[in-house]
Structure 1
Amino acid sequence: MNAKLPYTLFLFIFLLITAKSTAQETPAEGMASYYSDTLEGRSTASGEPYQMALFTAAHRTLPFNTRVKVTNLSNLKTVIVRINDRGPFVKGRIIDVSRAVAEVLGIIEKGVVNVRIEVVED
């Protein structure tokens, strides 16, 4: 067995934990969009069906079931969502939200708005 393997494995795990905790502690700002109504009932990356009436969202890296506070920076409306999908995969967008969330935040009219997201501790 390679003598450097335990050290490399330890370093990898340390960096993974550090990156995860840093990403969750720091609020992020960027653009948010919302899911099309045509996706209703289709499977999300977590395996559960998309339901436009639930307060759920897609994020590229946050673990499933992470709760996130999303604030529309133009009107300061805020809502708590649960991450259950992956995405968005459009440059500059940091979160995709369900239709119910988009209605509360006032995203429907514009389609895409600037938001701040913050992980909420249980």
Structure 2
Amino acid sequence: MRNGLICLALFGLLGGCASQRSDDWRVNAQGYQAEGKASYYGARHHGNKTASGERFDRNGLTAAHRSLPFGSHVLVTNLRNDKSVIVRINDRGPYARGRIIDLSEKAAAQIDMLRAGVVPVRVQQLAD
């Protein structure tokens, strides 16, 4: 019961960081779902143009994915600690072998992966 309340509180906090409330989002059962490695990009890319044409903001909740449409929202869960973050796809990549998503520095911080740099994750497309 206590763990359930903690998880519920965590998702409530994460929703406050997204552009919509967390209860407005739900996993798209027919959408993209995968497990693999995530990395993040930060300071040296800050301000550069992304593939979508917008400027990369390391303090935004955004990510790069090879094929998901720009503007898609995904739930990224760190499989080492079960922490999750909702991000918006605005760039292409990652191009490193074995990686499925590159997160902004802020998104990476929210799932406690800054120290490790690369972590196993689950990526689930959300219904908009």
Q: TM-score, normalised by structure 2?
A: 0.75
The structural deviation recorded for 1:28 is 0.1
Q: Return the alpha-carbon distance in structure 2 between the equivalents of residues 107 and 85 of structure 1.
A: 20
- Asked if 1:63 corresponds to 2:62, the answer is no
- Contiguous gaps of at least 5 residues in structure 1: 1-23
Which residue pairs with 2:46 in the alignment?
40
What amino acid is the match of 1:67?
H
Runs of 4+ residues over 4 Å off in structure 1: none
Which residue pairs with 2:119 in the alignment?
113
> Structure 1 residues 42, 77: CA separation in 2 closer, same or farther (over 3 Å shift)?
same
- Contiguous gaps of at least 5 residues in structure 2: 1-29
Q: Which has the larger radius of gyration?
A: 1
The structural deviation recorded for 1:65 is 0.3
The structural deviation recorded for 1:107 is 1.0
Aligned length: 99
Q: TM-score, normalised by structure 1?
A: 0.79
Q: Return the alpha-carbon distance in structure 2 between the equivalents of residues 96 and 32 of structure 1.
A: 6
RMSD: 0.9
> Structure 1 residues 49, 26: CA separation in 2 closer, same or farther (over 3 Å shift)?
closer
- Asked if 1:86 corresponds to 2:96, the answer is no
Which residue pairs with 2:9 in the alignment?
none
